[in-house]
Structure 1
Amino acid sequence: MVGAREVYRRGSASDWVAEADVGGAGVAARLRVAPRPEVLARVRGHLPQVILVAGIAMALLLAFSVGLAQAAVRRADEARESEERYRRFFEADLAGAIVTDPEGHLLDANPAALRMFGLDSVASFADRRISSLYAQPEQRPELMAQFLAKGRADQIELDMRRADGRPLHVLANMVARRDAEGNILEFQWFLIDITDKRRVEVQLRQAQKMEAIGRLAGGVAHDFNNLLGVITGYGELLERDLSEDHPGRRRLREIRRAAESAAALTRQLLTFSRQQALETRVLDLNEIVPNAEKMLRRLIGEDIELVMTLAPDLGHVRADAGQIEQVIMNLAINARDAMPKGGKLMIETSNVDLDERYLATHPSVLKPGPYIMVAVSDTGHGMDADTIAHMFEPFFTTKEKGKGTGLGLATVYGIVQQSGGTVNVYSEAGHGTSFKVYLPRVDDEAAQIRAAEGEVLAPRGTETILLVEDSESLREMIREVLEASGYTVNEADTPEAAARTVSTKGAATSLLLTDVIMPGLSGPDLAARLAATNSRARVLYISGYTDEMIGSRGRGLDPGTNFLQKPFTFDALLRKVRDVLDAPS
């Protein structure tokens, strides 16, 4: 409050004085009014009027003083409210806010910034400079160049470090607070944590790169399958024509062995590109893993300890048993090669539930829900970040020349992806590696895994087969094999020629053996024409592509369709033909 007190002293005329004490809001003053002697001499006869005028003047002066004091109080309150408002905003802001002096010393930080950098309090910033937080100090000149050019820095991506050394990626804005002369008093930084966003972008680019490589690998494998089919097929025919003691048989066996190795590589490429045909069924991985133990012990050697930890209540998955065994074998071989001086190989199975929070930090095609996890871990030399970034690429290898094909982990990636799962890797140089495979859990009962049946002679037949294949060398070889097994073969090199054969000889055709993807009329379209002429005729599709890739081209095959993947052996072809012909209607 502002208060005033008037004091009048009477003595001689020269002692007439008016005084007032003014106080409040930290302001204290005494106001004093006294007439000059010459003025008193002139107005001595009009003293009452003088006193009245002096009183009015005093009242006006007091009112002005009170107004000044009240304005000062309002300004102080407004400044205090503005400071509190700014502090509340500063403290509650979800973005990190940091204040530094012109030399870069850290002065203040809000809770979001403290959390971002992994610090407990503003005192943790003591004696630090903003430059100490850069993971790449060369980024600072770029930021300052933009600030000097525009007077501020906007939307700059910076690579920084948390207090524990972990990487922190931020989107930064920076402005300056200046004094009246334009000198910089402090820099104000506003930071948004984009670490998870950057991680997702990197993983997305990796997935897109793997998808592109997979498409290329699938296309190359398809073309090679046709060529290998001709090589292996004619190799078989020649071997049958030669006597047991003919010197050419050994050379033919080497040709066939090389072709079979090449076919195995194309199968791995198809597996990586998720285009390999799978025979899926419900499996208990606690049966698959122990069944592979004997083979694993032979693979890894005696200087590596094998430890298996299997969950007693493990759920089931739907997958191809042979492919899952391949995944375990490839990961075990990778672990063995990482432990040249011995170590420990650990294989673990468990039930896991992946939630949205986990999947947000481990982007994949998976949805939240129950999964079966198979972990293959080792105590080897581990991998650095660059190796991890490329490890699933076909033909990428860190092994010395001549050792390994570079397709082991690529095959693992393809099998797991095609089985509806994902594989994550945790590794540090010098600290070992852990691969974790996640496959969707199903509630169905597991199928029994039966041992392979013994070899029997390939079956023969006398039916009429319409063969449609646009590769001339492969078509001629298949025709020769079928005719040698007793079948009558009508062949066509184009869908149009096959359509004409259907119209003239369709009624006598027992089986249509056709490629799926051909110029013009597709295999399924041709089968539909044959069905209109002969509804009893069976159909067997052959292709260097798989049913999944065929479906992506708009010519998908219905579930349960008879299909044979190229390249195939004569035995496989003849057995499949016989199975299709003998199947119940």
Structure 2
Amino acid sequence: MMSIRRLLLRDLLILAGGVTALILGVSWWQQRQALRQQADLRAAESLRHLDRMLKADLGQAQALGAILQSWWTTEALDPADAERTARLVTPLLAGQRGVTSLNLARSDEHSLLFLKLGGAWSLRELRPAGTSAEVRWMRLDAGGHILSQEPWTPMAYDPRTRPWYLAAAAGGSGAWTEAYAFYTTHDPGITYTVPVRGPGPDLRGVAALDFLLDDLTQAVWEAQPTPRSRCLVVDEQDRALILPKDPAFATPEARRQAFLRPLGTSFLALHHRLLQALPQGGDQTLSFEGSPMVGRVQVFEGLPGVQWRLVLAIPEEDLMGSAFRRVLGLVALALVSLGLAVWRIRRLAVQVATPMARLGDLAEALGQGALPPPIESDLREVLSLDRALRRAQESLVDQGRLQRQLEHSQRMETVGTLAGGIAHDVNNQLAAILGQLHLCRELLPEGHSVMDRLDRAEEATRRCAQTTKALLSFSHQSRPELRRLDLNALVGETGAILDRLLGGRIRLVLELAPDLPWVQGDGVQLEQVLMNLAVNARDAMPEGGTLSLRTRQNVAGEVCLEVQDTGPGIPDSALPHIFEPFFTTKELGKGTGLGLAMVFGIVKAHQGRIQAENPPEGGARFRITLPPAGRPHDSGPLRKTGLRAETRLVGVRVLVVEDEALLRDMLADALTLARAQVTPAQDGAVAWRAWQAGDFDLVLSDHRMPDCTGYELLQRIRAAGSDVPFILVSGQGLDAVEKELARDPRTRLLPKPFEMPRLLALMAEMLGRKG
């Protein structure tokens, strides 16, 4: 009696061994030939394209330098006349893609600096003043006209001592300097310098055009031949001038630290190996990080003062492309292999297929609760499987129950994780939007026509914020902001919206009990509960019907809200699972299974209960029970003083900690407008260092940040013995530490997103200042 294992191994090894050897041999030969040819052509063409692109950008600057030299020599341009020079030069600078600044320095120390800031050009004029110098800044429009200017201020700076001036003064014509750190921005770059001389050999001045290495790097990245190419440009000292596209250089700060570093075995090792192997240019195939790479080195020359080398490495996979002959060969081999497989499978079917088919019938029968007679076979494995399947039948019921519990738990965990991640990012953006809308209101005069649109935008943002809170309530990561509210009024207001939502075929009936106790609830979330239940009822009554909303107080004093329709009702098999995530009775593509799960989460977060049933009179009924809250007391409206009119924060030193740049900038702008002294920090670690070095009256910190969370920052500050007021902001719940935060009277928890009036009021309250 032969085992299945020996039978399958023998026949499949005969088939697979011959076919695999044939396919691998032919495919390898074809791929290596195609790869070698494509690699050489593609790498060479890519470097030629890069060479042309760099020369075009740098050549434009040289042409501009020649124009400036001609104008200066013929006295059409004079740095001493700032206004005239600005109108003459600015239009030319606007047409330059890579130039970031232009220096026009006279030999008498008088100089002009055109600097590109935020897409617009500014002008700095420097003039000698006795034994020192003084400077003023001017803002220019696109035509070079002066829009505004600052007063003259002293400045200890002499352009004649800068490397670019000294290089031009020593040279006879225009040339590029070696890369160096700029005086104004401290960013590394290169400069094209043009000496301007009079009729004689005397130097009248120098024109210098600056290029940032970072701008050149971005341009090279855009011109890379493939997404995973690694292109590097080095100077004569093998210092990095243009960096490869790599995650290590993704941020400007990382690139700033890497510029001008000499290559070594630990820094850009791949390109270092290429330069050592090909010092005078050429190409080579090498392996890097387990992947074959095609490398090429080309000398970049032809520009005065520039002696660079271009280094390019492209993964072989990027150069393969589609090879028609290789595809045809593989198809032919696949057809041959298929024919051999069919021939062998037909033989195997006679020996194996029949008992295996009977095993499949047995497994299917066991799944339906039946137990067919034992299988007769000469194969040991078949008989063993028969016995194992019969033993497994005894535990199928328990396994099914455990599987359903596991799936339910995994779904809840998946939804909770998804909701938490989405809510954190969305709440950050919503908080920034609300703050920016508030700042827009500050910049507009009273009664402006845009105010109404800003109000609508704020209302839409608040509703979006409540949606994220509903998601967090569903995932148990946040609790709603409960306030005393009139449930009858909420149902009445929502009913007006539902009339339009339900269409004309469904009649809406409201039965509201008089003298109904108020409840503790979040109005927008309870409105969302009604909307979800109404939409489900509408879908259940495509031919029309009646939807009833009822309120009453039960014998236990609880407040009840009932939503009942006249549709076909809920299937009895679905009732126990109706509130489970992803469970739906709708057709595929018409429901997600999350609507009622979210309703269940909101009601539970309100300390309430929800029950679904099919009443005897037909249809479906959802009964929501909420604890009563009595009648409310009037707490007064939220004070909405404008930031400019805010007096409670004047001179307050505030440390603002937020890893989301848009939200951090908005908070800094708003508090600065309220005349507070703001120190921003992008994470908890930076904030802790700022705290140790400074003196602050209040700390406003996000919670969820890398390296050091907001709660950890609070612990460090309290451990240092300080009781400074601390506002901890979070877009998710902090149930694990909320009790501990409540014991600290100098700490408040503020949920995201928040409105600026609420933040200002909370800050004033903690500082003990009243408006």
8 Å CA contact 2:563, 2:621 repeated in 1: yes
Matched residue, 1:144: 372
Match of 2:507 among 275, 300, 304: 304
Tell me if 1:425 matches 2:612.
yes
1:131-184 per-position Cα deviation (integer Å, ceiling 9, x unaligned) = xxxxx98955852256985599556379xxxxxxxxxxx95xxxxxxxxxxxxx
Matched residue, 1:156: 393
- SS at 2:670's partner residue? helix
Partners of 1:137 and 1:527 in 2: CA distance: 63
Partners of 1:473 and 1:514 in 2: CA distance: 15
1:53-108 per-position Cα deviation (integer Å, ceiling 9, x unaligned) = xxxxxxxxxxxxxxxxxxxxxxxxxxxxxxxxxxxxxxxxxxxxxxxxxxxxxxxx
- SS at 1:292's partner residue? helix
Tell me if 1:544 matches 2:731.
yes
Q: Which amino acid aligns with 2:692?
A: S
**How large is the Cα RMSD of the aligned pairs?**
5.1
Tell me if 1:573 matches 2:762.
no
- SS at 1:209's partner residue? helix
Tell me if 1:343 matches 2:343.
no
Matched residue, 2:118: none
5 Å matches for 1:124-203?
A: 139=367, 143-144=371-372, 149=386, 156=393, 202=404
Matched residue, 1:530: 717
Change (3 A) 1:337 1:150: closer
Shift of 1:539: 1.0
8 Å CA contact 2:725, 2:767 repeated in 1: yes
Change (3 A) 1:252 1:202: same
Matched residue, 1:271: 473
8 Å CA contact 1:542, 1:563 repeated in 2: yes
Partners of 1:484 and 1:151 in 2: CA distance: 76
Match of 2:748 among 546, 562, 566: 562
Matched residue, 1:22: none
Partners of 1:569 and 1:438 in 2: CA distance: 31
- SS at 1:562's partner residue? strand
8 Å CA contact 1:502, 1:533 repeated in 2: no
8 Å CA contact 2:603, 2:609 repeated in 1: yes
Change (3 A) 1:424 1:311: farther
Matched residue, 1:495: 684
8 Å CA contact 1:352, 1:371 repeated in 2: yes
Partners of 2:434 and 2:400 in 1: CA distance: 49
Matched residue, 2:435: 233
Matched residue, 2:663: 474
8 Å CA contact 2:564, 2:621 repeated in 1: yes
Matched residue, 1:382: 569
8 Å CA contact 1:466, 1:490 repeated in 2: yes
Change (3 A) 1:250 1:209: same
8 Å CA contact 1:315, 1:351 repeated in 2: no
Matched residue, 2:621: 434
Change (3 A) 1:141 1:377: closer
Change (3 A) 1:450 1:412: farther
Change (3 A) 1:525 1:342: same
- SS at 2:476's partner residue? coil
8 Å CA contact 2:639, 2:761 repeated in 1: no
Shift of 1:345: 1.2
Q: Which amino acid aligns with 2:372?
A: M
Partners of 2:591 and 2:456 in 1: CA distance: 21
Change (3 A) 1:558 1:339: same
Matched residue, 1:448: 632
Shift of 1:454: 6.8
8 Å CA contact 1:277, 1:547 repeated in 2: no
8 Å CA contact 1:144, 1:153 repeated in 2: no
Change (3 A) 1:452 1:464: same
Shift of 1:223: 1.3
Matched residue, 1:504: 693
Shift of 1:484: 0.4
Shift of 1:542: 1.0
Shift of 1:399: 9.9
Shift of 1:413: 2.0
Partners of 2:705 and 2:538 in 1: CA distance: 45
8 Å CA contact 2:584, 2:591 repeated in 1: no
Q: Quick check: 474-483 or 295-304, which moved more?
A: 295-304
Tell me if 1:464 matches 2:666.
no
Shift of 1:324: 4.3
Change (3 A) 1:352 1:152: farther
Shift of 1:483: 0.5
8 Å CA contact 1:230, 1:477 repeated in 2: yes
8 Å CA contact 1:339, 1:380 repeated in 2: yes
8 Å CA contact 2:480, 2:522 repeated in 1: yes
Q: Which amino acid aligns with 2:603?
A: V
- SS at 2:632's partner residue? coil
- SS at 1:432's partner residue? coil
Partners of 1:472 and 1:424 in 2: CA distance: 45
Shift of 1:551: 4.4
Partners of 2:579 and 2:412 in 1: CA distance: 11
8 Å CA contact 1:268, 1:407 repeated in 2: no
Partners of 2:456 and 2:553 in 1: CA distance: 45
Normalised to the residue count of structure 1, the TM-score between the two structures is 0.52
Tell me if 1:513 matches 2:697.
no
Partners of 1:209 and 1:381 in 2: CA distance: 28
Shift of 1:258: 6.6
Q: Which amino acid aligns with 1:564?
A: L
Change (3 A) 1:448 1:330: farther
Partners of 2:562 and 2:487 in 1: CA distance: 11
Shift of 1:335: 3.3
8 Å CA contact 2:365, 2:372 repeated in 1: no
Percent same amino acid among aligned pairs? Answer: 30
Q: Which amino acid aligns with 2:699?
A: L
Q: Which amino acid aligns with 1:144?
A: P
Partners of 1:266 and 1:337 in 2: CA distance: 25
Partners of 2:749 and 2:547 in 1: CA distance: 43
Change (3 A) 1:200 1:415: farther
Partners of 1:405 and 1:236 in 2: CA distance: 36
Structure 1: gaps (5+ residues)? 1-135, 159-169, 172-193, 354-369
Q: Bigger radius of gyration, 1 or 2?
A: 1
8 Å CA contact 2:518, 2:631 repeated in 1: no
8 Å CA contact 1:217, 1:273 repeated in 2: yes
Partners of 2:411 and 2:432 in 1: CA distance: 32
Change (3 A) 1:395 1:576: farther
Partners of 1:316 and 1:253 in 2: CA distance: 28
Q: Which amino acid aligns with 1:304?
A: R
Q: Which amino acid aligns with 1:289?
A: L
Partners of 2:560 and 2:405 in 1: CA distance: 21
Partners of 1:235 and 1:394 in 2: CA distance: 37
Partners of 2:407 and 2:597 in 1: CA distance: 17
- SS at 1:225's partner residue? helix
Normalised to the residue count of structure 2, the TM-score between the two structures is 0.41
8 Å CA contact 2:600, 2:610 repeated in 1: yes
Shift of 1:207: 5.1
Structure 2: gaps (5+ residues)? 1-363, 377-385
Match of 1:220 among 422, 428, 445: 422
1:527-569 per-position Cα deviation (integer Å, ceiling 9, x unaligned) = 3443466745211111222223x649xx974368512222223
8 Å CA contact 1:306, 1:344 repeated in 2: yes
Change (3 A) 1:576 1:411: farther
8 Å CA contact 1:332, 1:345 repeated in 2: no
Q: Which amino acid aligns with 1:505?
A: G
Change (3 A) 1:234 1:533: same
Partners of 1:309 and 1:258 in 2: CA distance: 29
